[in-house]
Amino acid sequence: MTPYYEESGIVIYHGDCREILPSLPKVDLVLTDPPYGIALNTDYSRFKSTDVQGRSYTVVEGDGAVMDFTFLFSTANQCVVWGANNWPQQLPFDPLRDGWLCWDKRTNETADAILGSPFEMAVVLGQRTYKMIRLQHCGVKNGDGDRAGRLHPTQKPVRLMRRVLELFQASTTILDPFMGSGTTLRAAKDLGRKAIGIEIEEKYCEIAANRLRQEVLAFA
């Protein structure tokens, strides 16, 4: 396979991860945010913060129905998969070995502090972890700062992915098979980790490559 992008230990492949993964070696950690199968309304023009007006995005490919994700669980010794609570019947979950992360998007304890979902869940396979991470991010509010912009309708903050990676200090090679705009890879680069990203939509491969070319992203 020819990488779409390769530099400083970070590699991007353009294509369907189900076709590409069999050709890749096993990695330390899968950290990914796949389409949840919830037919998300990506018209964010209905959201507005003090400084930023939301805009409409194209729908997320593969989000119209829940796909079979079981192929993910053999690609690494540990997996962190956002949205897995939407398809729990697929999980090889062992309560003695596995756990959950909860991303609390509110700034305080009132559920109406944000627009949209007040939290998201990620299953942790291979490390018995139960942790709450609080970082406001919803509608047009961005956990990396309101003016950081959003390049993908379901883009996670770099600050969030960095905090997740910091829970797995021994994981030196990270895989995101549903890369989107490259947030996981950007976080891995910031922490000096190697990473592989796969994305089915070429426009996001280019967006991710451009984000990775930036030498420093000043997020606290």
CB 144 within 8 A of CB 158: yes
Report pTM.
0.88
Number of residues assigned to the chain: 220
Has residue 219 got a pLDDT over 60? no
Q: Which residue has the tokens 């796969």?
A: 198
Q: What is the tens place of the pLDDT at every residue in 158-208? A: 999 999 999 999 999 999 999 999 999 999 999 999 999 999 999 999 999
% of the chain at pLDDT higher than 70: 85
Task: State residue 134 phi and psi, 5-degree precision.
Answer: -105, 125
Has residue 45 got a pLDDT over 90? no
pLDDT level of residue 47 (50, 70, 90 thresholds):
confident
Domain residue extents for the chain: 5-213
CB 186 within 8 A of CB 158: yes
Q: Which residue, 138, 159, 156, is CA-closest to 52?
A: 138
Distance CA 59, CA 61 (A): 6
Which has the higher per-residue pLDDT, 102 or 143?
Answer: 102
Q: Which residue, 174, 207, 204, 209, is CA-closest to 188?
A: 174
CATH of domain 5-213: 3.40.50.150
Query: What is the helix (H) or strand (E) element at residue 103, kind and residue range?
Result: strand 99-104
Has residue 130 got a pLDDT over 80? yes
